[in-house]
Every structure is written in structure tokens, then in C-alpha cells.
């Protein structure tokens, strides 16, 4: 369930076109590595890394400093990270993409989830009616020994 929810939340983000230059600080980005970068950073990021996802801690004309959240390999596999800071020289990249929250998609997802929860509750006897049996007797005890 948690995995499905996290996959749905990924759909709430949109990626802007690939850009060059310094990335905006405190922004979630994907930084794409070139062949030279894959080789040079393999000891820190792993082998055959395609792109690095993280939040920009600092950036200038020569380097990105990212708090890494995920590393994607050319094979399509990915590894989660826990915010470790990694310096990625810009000469090792082909650019970056800003990942920003798509308000429309997020609103639609939240609305759909609310409708699903309401439909679930309304189609179940989760609230109970508290009525007595119609023959005037008390309900049998639910306790067992």
C-alpha cells in the first residue's frame, strides 16, 4: 500500500525541460551525468548512473551540491538515498531538470483519494446503527471464554 501511494505521488510532479547553468538552490532536480561523469563519480554514486535526484544545496558555474534522494542507473534500476551531500562538477553533466509539484495533478489525486475513502466508509457498516433487535430481546453477548 505504501509503495502504491509513493508511486502515485511521483505522478504529482512534473519535470521541466533540461536546463544548463547553475540550478536554483533548495529546488528538487534531476542532474543528468555524461559518460565522463559516470566514470569519475562511480566511486561515490555507483556504476552506470544516468541521473541523480536531489535537492540543490548550492550551485555555481562549476559545481552542483545536492542532497541526494535517489540515484537512477542506465539499466532503469534506482537506489534511494537519505539526503547525503554530493558534489557534482558541472563538466560531468549534460544539464538538469527541475522537478516541481503539479498542483492540478495533486488536487486530482487528493480528491480521488477522498472520494475512495468516503465510498469505502459508506459501503461498509463501519459506523453501526445501535438498534435493538425487533423482537424485544437484548442482543446476545459478543464475549467468549
| Distance, C-alpha 51 to centroid of its chain | 15
Condensed to tens digits (0 to 9), the pLDDT of residues 79-90 reads: 999 999 999 999
Q: Which three cell numbers stand for residue 89?
A: 562538477
Count structural domains, the chain: 1
144 occurs within a structural domain: no
Given a contact cutoff of 8 angstroms between Cβ atoms, the answer to whether 16 and 102 are in contact is no
Rounded alpha-carbon distances, angstroms, from residue 55 to 34, 37, 103, 113:
20, 19, 19, 28
What residues have CB less than 8 Å from 16, skipping those under 6 apart?
97, 98, 99, 100
22 occurs within a structural domain: yes
Given a contact cutoff of 8 angstroms between Cβ atoms, the answer to whether 125 and 132 are in contact is no
The pTM of this model reads: 0.63
Task: Residue 47: give the domain boundaries.
Answer: 14-101
**CA–CA separation, 3 and 27 (whole Å):** 24
- Give me the CATH number covering residue 57: 2.30.30
pLDDT of residue 55 exceeding 90, the answer is yes
Of 129 and 55, more confident: 55
139 occurs within a structural domain: no
122 occurs within a structural domain: no
**CA–CA separation, 136 and 66 (whole Å):** 71
Condensed to tens digits (0 to 9), the pLDDT of residues 103-140 reads: 666 676 667 777 777 777 777 766 556 566 666 565 55
Amino acid at each position: 500500500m505504501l509503495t502504491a501511494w509513493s508511486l502515485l505521488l511521483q505522478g504529482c510532479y512534473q519535470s521541466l525541460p533540461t536546463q544548463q547553468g547553475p540550478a536554483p538552490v533548495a529546488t528538487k532536480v534531476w542532474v543528468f551525468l555524461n559518460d565522463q561523469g559516470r566514470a569519475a563519480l562511480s566511486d561515490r554514486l555507483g556504476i552506470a548512473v544516468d541521473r541523480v535526484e536531489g535537492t540543490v544545496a548550492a550551485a555555481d558555474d562549476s559545481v552542483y551540491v545536492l542532497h541526494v534522494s535517489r540515484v537512477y542507473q542506465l539499466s532503469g534500476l534506482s537506489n534511494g538515498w537519505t539526503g547525503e551531500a554530493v558534489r557534482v562538477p558541472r563538466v560531468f553533466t549534460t544539464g538538469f531538470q527541475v522537478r516541481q509539484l503539479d498542483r492540478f495533478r495533486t488536487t486530482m489525486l487528493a480528491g480521488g483519494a477522498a472520494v475512495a475513502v468516503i465510498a469505502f466508509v459508506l459501503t461498509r457498516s463501519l459506523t453501526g446503527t445501535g438498534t435493538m433487535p425487533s423482537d424485544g430481546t437484548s442482543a446476545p453477548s459478543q464475549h467468549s471464554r
